[in-house]
Chains A and B, each alone.
Chain A
Amino acid sequence: MHASRVRHERLNMFQLHEVTKVYRRREQEVVAFKACSLAITQGEYVAVVGPSGSGKTTLLSILGGMLSPDCGQVLFDGESLYDLPIAERTKRRRERIGFVFQTFNLVPYLTALENVQVPLFLNDVANAEQEERAMALLGQVGLGNRLDHKPSELSTGQQQRVALARTLANNPSVILADEPTGNLDPDSREAVLAMFDQFVREGRTIVMVTHDPAAALRATRRLTLRDGEVQEAMIRHAA
């Protein structure tokens, strides 16, 4: 195992074996996601595409340790995610995974600064350091002068930038993004994708669900889902 890692020079971030997720509603079974074998290595920039209802969000939830599959194994950094107790699984997510949502999911009653502080607080970072790092991150996304604004007082693009600062707060090794550009104007969209490019350049991993063909093109790998099944398309290994 160790030898193979050295040989490939890249670690497997995620490995899925025989994973199936089925929803049963009113005697009707929906196979929301199914994968015999799927690996996502460190440093990959994966675009997940497919029609609505094809299981893209289901895949992200499974990777994020938030939706246990009906069968199969999900390895995250070599650990079987769903064999961990829920508190441990939450801890992995808290320390290593960042999420980006289509609707940003900022906490409405907190200011921009406080929103960025949330993941730091959840990671037990001391208050002074929380503020310092949150201010620096908001400065990086160009919102150093909007610290005390609530989400409702920010434009859509600004909200997504606050959300990005929040995603980066705990310095994650993986970003799981569900249509991160779906609600954005072209400029804001470009800002998000530029930040993702930078993230990947640092050797980190992104799994991005997108309906946007141009955004999908910037990824190094594309997974197409159809009725819950993975169909690997075009592989374009990153340099």
Chain B
Amino acid sequence: MNLKTLVWREIWERPSAMLTSTLAILLGVTALVAIRHVTVFSEREVGQQLQSLGANVLVLPKNSTLQDYYSADLTEQTLPESHVASILLANLPGVERLSPKLCVSTKVGDRDVTLTGILPQTEFQAKAVWQTVTLFSNKHEGCKKAACGPKTYDAAPETLASQRTIDQLKGNEAVIGADVADFSGLKPGKSLTLLGEKLQVLAVLPRTGTIDDSRVFAHLHTVQRLTNSGEVVNAIEVMGCCEDAAGKLVPSLAELLPDAKVVTISQVVSTQVGINRLMSQMSLLVLGILVVVGGASVASTISSNVRERRREVGTLMALGATPSLVARMFLLKAWLLGIVGAVSGCVLGLIVAKVLGSQWAGVSVKPLPGLMGIAIVAALAVTTLAALWPARSAAKLDPCSCFQEV
């Protein structure tokens, strides 16, 4: 027999008496853990998107949506390729690289892939030299990014995955995404036939977890020729030297290309960022509810428990229990209640986050031990604080109540 078994026995004598307050703690922790998990992973996803697209500005056909761009479904709307030259000639401050793209759906074997035409960076250099434009030397004022040295344009083709541009790509070459390589078994050096043309695989891109994994990249002019689409593109990605530049580029690009739609990546993810901010605020609200409702519920449960056990407490005191032991007895009870509520709340919250995260926010949620630790500590702090006053009143009970008859 020790304090723990005493408290434990008392709880199991009538567990239903603790149900309401345990449930209050449990639901509070569940909501907190679920919302925070979804928010954290959703924020990470946004961060990844931002990183993978860099400080980009997108130039899109007027009527296409960002959703089209993301799903690589841009075959309906096009822009003239001459816009690329216009941007080059305008020599806008902060522009670092350009990447025009033309996407078509096709098949490799019996699988759907997106064939994406891109323009290698060496050809911009050629154009620039021919047109005597100092290529992309125009840094905007106060750019925090260190000025780059002279470009050599011989980076490995795999950098396409991270940099979104490729330095060299010949007309009969293709770079394939990781998924395409997986299902077709293609390796660098082998050849594949697309739209009736034989292309040689130059490289396989490292897996990115995005739509890029199921793309086949080829030279823009090859794709234009194979699809008979003329000198058009679906989108021009403009890489700014930094986040700062991207924002300033939008108005100048919009002025330069009035028939196109110019958006920044931060605009693309802004709704998601807004939802995340809302969820963050909501988790604060839930924390407040946990503190108020959970705390009040624990306080009332423990108070009424103290009231109905007055004679028992008096008897224990007559047998030699000190007031501090009596107080600890009720604190420990509240604490056990808090632990049960918090731990089961964590488990339930994680399940809810996994289900709702993938259904509503499209993110896959993994357990965050630190977050769950904080939730448990918070719940325990709330229960302990809430039980402090009733425990004190138990310690002050009159031991003479042991002589009262029932």
Interface residues of A (CB under 8 A from B): 57, 60-61, 64, 66-67, 86-87, 90-91, 93-95, 99, 101-103, 105, 107-110, 114, 117-123, 127, 130, 166, 170, 178
Identify whether the interface residues of A are mostly helix, strand, loop, or mixed.
helix
Question: In the bound complex, do residue B406 and residue A118 qualify as a contact, i.e. CB atoms below 8 Å apart?
Answer: no
A-B contact pairs, 14 of them (CB 8 A): A64-B399, A66-B317, A66-B399, A66-B400, A86-B322, A90-B322, A90-B323, A101-B402, A105-B402, A110-B6, A114-B1, A118-B316, A119-B320, A120-B1
A-contact 0/1 string along B316-339, CB 8 Å cutoff: 111111111100000000000000
**Top 3 A-B pairs, shortest CB-CB distance:** A94-B320, A109-B13, A117-B1
Contact of B319 among A60, A94, A103, A108 (CB under 8 A): A94
Question: In the bound complex, do residue A90 and residue B321 qualify as a contact, i.e. CB atoms below 8 Å apart?
Answer: yes
Cβ-based interface call for B403 (8 A): yes
Inter-chain CA distance A102–B403, complex, in Å, is 8
Cβ-based interface call for B2 (8 A): yes
A87 in contact with B322 given A67-B400, A99-B402, A178-B403 (CB within 8 Å) = yes
Inter-chain CA distance A10–B315, complex, in Å, is 31
B218 to chain A, nearest CB (A): 78
Question: In the bound complex, do residue A127 and residue B2 qualify as a contact, i.e. CB atoms below 8 Å apart?
Answer: yes
Chain B residues with CB below 8 A from A103, complex form:
405-406
State which residues 384-406 of B face A: CB under 8 Å. 398-400, 402-403, 405-406
Chain B residues with CB below 8 A from A119, complex form:
319-320
B394 to chain A, nearest CB (A): 14
Question: In the bound complex, do residue A102 and residue B13 qualify as a contact, i.e. CB atoms below 8 Å apart?
Answer: no
Interface residues of B (CB under 8 A from A): 1-3, 5-6, 9-10, 12-13, 311-312, 315-325, 398-400, 402-403, 405-406
Question: In the bound complex, do residue A108 and residue B13 qualify as a contact, i.e. CB atoms below 8 Å apart?
Answer: yes
Give the interface centre of A87, A107, A114, A130 by most chain B CB atoms within 10 Å: A107
Residue of B nearest to A90 (CB): B322
A168 to chain B, nearest CB (A): 12
Q: A90-B321, A118-B319, A119-B320 provided; 12 other pairs, C-beta below 8 A?
A: A57-B403, A60-B403, A61-B399, A87-B323, A94-B320, A103-B405, A108-B13, A109-B9, A121-B2, A121-B3, A122-B325, A166-B319
B324 to chain A, nearest CB (A): 8
Inter-chain CA distance A150–B9, complex, in Å, is 11
Question: In the bound complex, do residue B320 and residue A122 qualify as a contact, i.e. CB atoms below 8 Å apart?
Answer: yes
Chain A residues with CB below 8 A from B325, complex form:
122
Inter-chain CA distance A127–B2, complex, in Å, is 8
Chain A residues with CB below 8 A from B3, complex form:
121
Residue of B nearest to A124 (CB): B2
Give the interface centre of B1, B13, B312, B319 by most chain A CB atoms within 10 Å: B319
Question: In the bound complex, do residue B1 and residue A93 qualify as a contact, i.e. CB atoms below 8 Å apart?
Answer: no
A116 to chain B, nearest CB (A): 9
Inter-chain CA distance A67–B71, complex, in Å, is 81
Question: In the bound complex, do residue A95 and residue B320 qualify as a contact, i.e. CB atoms below 8 Å apart?
Answer: yes
Inter-chain CA distance A102–B404, complex, in Å, is 9
Residue of A nearest to B312 (CB): A107
Chain A residues with CB below 8 A from B317, complex form:
66, 90
Question: In the bound complex, do residue A110 and residue B311 qualify as a contact, i.e. CB atoms below 8 Å apart?
Answer: no
Question: In the bound complex, do residue B403 and residue A101 qualify as a contact, i.e. CB atoms below 8 Å apart?
Answer: yes
Question: In the bound complex, do residue A61 and residue B320 qualify as a contact, i.e. CB atoms below 8 Å apart?
Answer: no
A99 in contact with B319 given A109-B9, A120-B1, A121-B1 (CB within 8 Å) = yes
Question: In the bound complex, do residue B320 and residue A109 qualify as a contact, i.e. CB atoms below 8 Å apart?
Answer: no
Inter-chain CA distance A107–B317, complex, in Å, is 12
B8 to chain A, nearest CB (A): 10
Question: In the bound complex, do residue B403 and residue A122 qualify as a contact, i.e. CB atoms below 8 Å apart?
Answer: no
Inter-chain CA distance A118–B406, complex, in Å, is 21
Chain A residues with CB below 8 A from B323, complex form:
86-87, 90
Chain B residues with CB below 8 A from A166, complex form:
319
Inter-chain CA distance A172–B238, complex, in Å, is 91
A109 in contact with B403 given A95-B320, A118-B316 (CB within 8 Å) = no
Contact of B9 among A101, A114, A120, A178 (CB under 8 A): A114
Question: In the bound complex, do residue A122 and residue B400 qualify as a contact, i.e. CB atoms below 8 Å apart?
Answer: no
A118 in contact with B318 given A61-B403, A109-B9, A109-B10 (CB within 8 Å) = no
Residue of B nearest to A66 (CB): B399
B323 to chain A, nearest CB (A): 7
Question: In the bound complex, do residue B403 and residue A93 qualify as a contact, i.e. CB atoms below 8 Å apart?
Answer: no
Chain B residues with CB below 8 A from A61, complex form:
399-400, 403
A110 in contact with B9 given A64-B318, A90-B317 (CB within 8 Å) = yes
Question: In the bound complex, do residue B403 and residue A123 qualify as a contact, i.e. CB atoms below 8 Å apart?
Answer: no
Inter-chain CA distance A103–B314, complex, in Å, is 13
Inter-chain CA distance A127–B323, complex, in Å, is 22
Question: In the bound complex, do residue B9 and residue A102 qualify as a contact, i.e. CB atoms below 8 Å apart?
Answer: no
Inter-chain CA distance A60–B317, complex, in Å, is 14
Chain B residues with CB below 8 A from A178, complex form:
403
Inter-chain CA distance A103–B323, complex, in Å, is 23
Inter-chain CA distance A85–B349, complex, in Å, is 49
